[in-house]
């Protein structure tokens, strides 16, 4: 038997979608942009301001901007609010499920706190934010009713070199997807922070609490709704903070843990400690938040 060709993932370019056409296609559909942020005071205000002036006030393409302040110790919340976002403290949302923090936790809580039929997420550390990061993701969701989830991909100029996926993507996420989930091998940047989906899709899947959330959502949505429900969009170039290598090891461990939890339940421990030489030990714990549609409080706040 020859090699198996992975299913084609619908791939578009942000430039394919004229903003005026998206406004027309939007109709009565409501759109939320959610930004999880932890200590992103230098950049979050400019991102919110750009979305507000160009996509909310200027066009009505976006209906609300929600910043989930994930236990910041700087002025992230104040900067976001001053720029026009509705700021929600992660520690005050769904407190009956705990007050923990982490990327996946903030995304899960932002889905609860937002109101849009379509929810788009973007990172808060982007230094060259452009409205195409939002319009590109909205394109397939507003023009193709069969699309339920969209991932963004982009070029990242780092150290004078243009790179596609980051180090964790190329060394961990892409190999594990290719080996264990080959139907997702065509996703250019499975760990990108720019993505979005229909609430009717997102509320049906669990959210891994930490950095495993991106790959977990991708695998789970493809499993539940099919690869045909996925799309990816080229967002052009994106400049953001480049994390030092010691910070990437725990991130990579969480990504691998989330993928293996789905491929072979029980293979990896839910909790272990990384002990890198000459660095502080880091505990890696796997936790996930249940699909929001299973929670009474969510169904009361978001009636079908």
- CATH number of the structural domain spanning residue 106: 3.90.550.10
Asked whether residue 83 carries a pLDDT value surpassing 70, the answer given is yes
More confident of the two residues 163 and 266: 266
Whether 1 is covered by a domain: the verdict is no
Taking the model in full, what pTM does it have?
0.92
CA triplet 29, 35, 37: central angle to 5 degrees?
165
Whether 299 is covered by a domain: the verdict is no
Cα separation, 118 vs 150, in Å, equals 11
Whether 99 is covered by a domain: the verdict is yes
**Torsional sign, CA 287, 291, 294, 299:** positive
Buried b (16+ CB within 10 A) or exposed e, 79-96: bbbebbbbbbbbeebbee
Locate 54 and state its tokens. Answer: 């160009």
Asked whether residue 97 carries a pLDDT value surpassing 60, the answer given is yes
Whether 255 is covered by a domain: the verdict is yes
Backbone phi and psi for residue 11, each to the nearest 5 degrees, phi listed first: -125, 130
pLDDT given at position 185: 92
User: What would the mean pLDDT of 100-125 be, rounded to a whole number?
Assistant: 93
Average pLDDT, the chain: 91
pLDDT given at position 211: 92
Cα separation, 257 vs 254, in Å, equals 5
Neighbours of 242 (CB within 10 A): 11
Whether 190 is covered by a domain: the verdict is yes
pLDDT given at position 240: 55
Closest CA to 118 of 164, 86, 149, 74: 149
Asked whether residue 237 carries a pLDDT value surpassing 90, the answer given is no
Asked whether residue 173 carries a pLDDT value surpassing 70, the answer given is yes
User: What would the mean pLDDT of 83-111 be, rounded to a whole number?
Assistant: 90
Neighbours of 194 (CB within 10 A): 22
User: What would the mean pLDDT of 88-116 be, rounded to a whole number?
Assistant: 90
Whether 3 is covered by a domain: the verdict is no
Where helices occur in 144-270 by DSSP H, the ranges are 167-168, 174-180, 199-202, 213-225, 245-263
Specify the number of domains making up the chain.
Answer: 1
Beta-strand (E) ranges in the chain? 10-13, 31-37, 64-69, 86-89, 118-121, 149-158, 161-163, 195-198, 207-208, 230-237, 271-274, 282-285, 288-289
Are 236 and 14 a contacting pair, CB within 8 Å?
Answer: yes
Closest CA to 289 of 230, 212, 219: 212
- Quote the domain boundaries for residue 131: 10-292
Instruction: Work out the burial of residue 219: count CB atoms within 10 Å of its CB; fewer than 13 is exposed, 13-18 middle, 19 or more buried.
Output: buried
Are 230 and 152 a contacting pair, CB within 8 Å?
Answer: no
pLDDT given at position 197: 98
Cα separation, 229 vs 92, in Å, equals 33
Q: What does each C-alpha distance from 255 to 4, 19, 66, 131, 265 come to in angstroms?
A: 25, 34, 26, 28, 15
Asked whether residue 241 carries a pLDDT value surpassing 60, the answer given is no
DSSP bridge partners of 271: 285
User: What would the mean pLDDT of 128-134 be, rounded to a whole number?
Assistant: 94
For the chain, the first-to-last Cα distance in angstroms comes to 47
The distance of Cα 186 from the centroid of its chain, to the nearest Å, equals 18
Locate 228 and state its tokens. Answer: 């045909």
Cα separation, 242 vs 125, in Å, equals 10
% of the chain surpassing 90 pLDDT: 79
Locate 80 and state its tokens. Answer: 């976001």
Whether 153 is covered by a domain: the verdict is yes
Whether 67 is covered by a domain: the verdict is yes
């Amino acid at each position: 038997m020859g090699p198996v060709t992975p299913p084609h993932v619908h791939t578009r370019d942000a430039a394919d979608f004229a903003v005026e056409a998206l406004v027309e296609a939007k109709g009565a559909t409501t759109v939320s942009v959610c930004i999880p942020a932890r200590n992103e005071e230098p950049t979050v205000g400019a991102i919110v301001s750009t979305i507000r002036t160009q996509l909310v006030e200027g066009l009505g393409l976006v209906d609300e901007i929600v910043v989930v302040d994930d236990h910041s110790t700087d002025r992230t919340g104040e900067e976001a609010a001053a720029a026009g976002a509705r700021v929600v403290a992660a520690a005050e949302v769904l407190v009956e499920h705990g007050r923990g923090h982490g990327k996946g936790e903030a995304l899960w809580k932002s889905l609860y706190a937002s109101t849009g039929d379509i929810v788009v997420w973007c990172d808060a550390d982007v230094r060259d934010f452009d409205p195409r990061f939002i319009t590109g993701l909205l394109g397939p969701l507003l023009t193709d009713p069969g699309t339920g989830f969209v991932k963004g991909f982009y070029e990242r100029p780092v150290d004078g070199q243009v790179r596609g996926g980051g180090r964790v993507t190329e060394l961990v996420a892409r190999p594990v997807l290719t080996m264990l989930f080959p139907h997702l091998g065509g996703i250019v940047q499975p760990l990108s922070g720019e993505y979005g989906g229909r609430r009717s899709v997102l509320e049906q899947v669990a959210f891994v609490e930490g950095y495993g959330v991106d790959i977990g959502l991708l695998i789970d949505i493809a499993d539940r709704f099919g690869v045909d429900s996925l799309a990816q969009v080229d967002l052009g170039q994106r400049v953001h903070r480049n994390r030092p290598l010691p910070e990437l090891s725990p991130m990579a461990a969480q990504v691998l843990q989330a993928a293996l939890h789905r491929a072979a339940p029980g293979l990896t421990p839910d909790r272990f400690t990384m002990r890198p030489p000459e660095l502080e030990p880091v505990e890696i714990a796997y936790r996930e938040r249940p699909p929001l549609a299973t929670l009474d409080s969510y169904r009361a706040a978001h009636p079908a």
